[in-house]
Chains A and B, each alone.
Chain A
Amino acid sequence: SAVISQKPSRDICQRGTSLTIQCQVDSQVTMMFWYRQQPGQSLTLIATANQGSEATYESGFVIDKFPISRPNLTFSTLTVSNMSPEDSSIYLCSVPTAANTGELFFGEGSRLTVL
């Protein structure tokens, strides 16, 4: 199993500001996934972060709004830019447990509230 640490665990942010969420994994992984869970909603995949290449974004998500870094095989960051109240969500980092089966380990998430 993988241990995933996310920072911050929660934050309250002002409209128009940006916040960077960090995800640290205790083992090397090729792919890391960033999900969003809006209040009362299910999880939606934002993007896939591969080390050494640009992140791949899902429909409805763009790099300007959610820039992602992946400097090495154990670390990734997601920035939520120019935040609005609609960005209030839990953001979760996850890593696969086995190749191409979809089974994932999840971090505990970063709960952002935008005022």
Chain B
Amino acid sequence: AQSVTQPDIHITVSEGASLELRCNYSYGATPYLFWYVQSPGQGLQLLLKYFSGDTLVQGIKGFEAEFKRSQSSFNLRKPSVHWSDAAEYFCAESDSWGKLQFGAGTQVVVTP
């Protein structure tokens, strides 16, 4: 069965520091992978996606993610976080029918 694992439920990071959020997927040789962000009181916004090709994917708001097939991982990174990056981040994978399976989410807190 398809599953997405986000090992870190909660991460605290200082403003200006780097951020890495972990994600492991379990489905498919050619997965469709996504990172979404949910800010307080707002809907879900797509940060970036991976379908194929270059394994380093650039997204919005300065985020990037790297697809590593050998590790079944799709970790999200940002070199320098801003206070506005405080939010819940969801990794997701699509199956062949186009349905999204979400990870449990990682809550990011940014301290001054």
Note whether A and B form a binding pair. Answer: yes
Given A103-B46, A107-B43, A109-B43, A45:B100 Cβ within 8 A: yes
Residues 83-100 of B, flagged 1 when their CB comes within 8 A of A and 0 if not, give 000000010111111111
- Asked whether any CB of chain B lies closer than 8 Å to the CB of A92, the reply is yes
| Given A43-B90, A102-B34, A103-B34, A96 contacting B42 (CB threshold 8 A) | no
Given the contacts A101-B51, A103-B46, A43 and B99 also touching, CB distance less than 8 Å: no
Question: Which chain B residues in 49-81 approach chain A with CB under 8 Å?
Answer: 49, 51
In contact, A42 and B95 (Cβ under 8 angstroms)? no
Please list the residues of chain B having a beta carbon within 8 angstroms of any beta carbon in chain A.
32, 34, 36, 42-46, 49, 51, 90, 92-100, 102-105
Q: B104 to A101, Cβ gap below 8 A?
A: no
Q: Write the nearest CB–CB distance from A97 to chain B, whole angstroms.
A: 8
- List 19 A-B residue pairs with CB atoms under 8 Å apart, sorted by A's residue number: A31-B98, A33-B99, A42-B102, A42-B103, A43-B100, A45-B99, A45-B100, A92-B43, A92-B44, A96-B98, A99-B98, A101-B51, A101-B98, A102-B94, A102-B98, A102-B99, A103-B32, A106-B45, A107-B43
Determine the distance from Cα of A104 to Cα of B49 in the docked complex, in whole angstroms: 11
- Docked pose: A95 CA to B17 CA in angstroms: 35
Cα A92 to Cα B100 with chains together (Å): 13
Q: Closest 5 interchain pairs by CB?
A: A102-B94, A108-B43, A106-B44, A100-B98, A43-B102
Interface of B is mostly: strand
Please name the residue on chain B nearest to A45 by beta carbon.
B99
Please determine whether B43 and A103 come into contact, CB atoms closer than 8 angstroms: no
Tell me whether B90 and A42 are in contact (CB under 8 A). yes
* A105 surroundings in chain B (CB, below 8 A): 46
- A-chain residues with CB within 8 Å of residue B105 when the two chains form the complex: 41-42
A101 in contact with B94 (CB, 8 Å):
yes
Compute how far the CA of A96 lies from the CA of B99 in the bound complex, rounded to whole angstroms: 9
CB A100 to nearest CB in B, in angstroms, measures: 4
Neighbouring A residues of B96 by C-beta, 8 Å: 100
Give the distance in Å from the alpha carbon of A106 to the alpha carbon of B45 in the complex. Answer: 7
CA distance A99 to B96 in the complex (A): 10
Query: Which A residues touch B97, using CB under 8 A?
Result: 100
